[in-house]
Chains A and B, each alone.
Chain A
Amino acid sequence: MIAIIGLVLGILLGIWLNPTVPPAIQPYLPIAVVAALDALAGGLRAVLSGTFDDRVFVISFFSNVLIAAFIVFLGDQLGVGTQLSTAVVVVLGIRIFTNVAAIRRQLLKA
Chain B
Amino acid sequence: MPAAQPGRSAHRGRRAPRGRRAPRGHAAQQLAAPRTVAQRQDESTSSLLESLWQRLDDPYAAARAEHEADGTRPGVTTTLLSGLVALILGAGLAVAIGQLRIGDPERETARAALIEQIEAATGDANLLQQENQELGARLSAERSATLSDTGLGERLERLERAAGTTPVDGRGIVVTLNDDPAAVTGAGDPRSAEDTANRVQDQDLQTVVNALFACGAQAVAINGHRFTSLSAIRGAGGAIMVNYTPLTAPYEVAAVGGEDPGSLRRQFLASDTFDYLKVLERDYAIASGVSQPRAVSVPAAEMPAFRHADTLSTADGSEVTE
Residue from B7, B60, B100 in contact with A33 in the complex, judged by beta carbons closer than 8 Å: B100
Number of contact residues on A: which range applies? 35 or more
Asked if B86 and A98 sit within 8 Å, CB to CB, the answer is no
Interface of A is mostly: helix
Residues of B within 8 Å of A10, CB to CB, are 86-94
Given the known A-B contacts A6-B82, A6-B84, A53-B60, are A13 and B100 also in contact in the complex, defined by CB atoms under 8 Å?
no
Q: Which residue of A lies closest to B96 (CB)?
A: A29
B292 to chain A, nearest CB (A): 59
Asked if A14 and B90 sit within 8 Å, CB to CB, the answer is yes
Residues of A within 8 Å of B67, CB to CB, are 53
Q: Is A67 an interface residue (CB 8 A)?
A: no
Number of contact residues on B: which range applies? 35 or more
Q: Is A26 an interface residue (CB 8 A)?
A: yes
Asked if A54 and B82 sit within 8 Å, CB to CB, the answer is yes
A72 to chain B, nearest CB (A): 13
Residues of B that sit less than 8 Å from A by CB: 1, 3-4, 7, 52-53, 56-61, 63-64, 67, 74, 78-100
Closest 3 CB pairs of A and B: A10-B90, A14-B94, A6-B86
| Further contacts, 9 of them, CB under 8 A, given A10-B94, A65-B92 | A6-B84, A13-B87, A26-B99, A33-B93, A53-B63, A57-B82, A58-B85, A105-B1, A105-B3
Residues of A that sit less than 8 Å from B by CB: 2-15, 17-21, 26, 29-30, 32-33, 36, 42-43, 45-46, 49, 51-62, 65, 91, 94-95, 98-99, 102, 105-106, 109
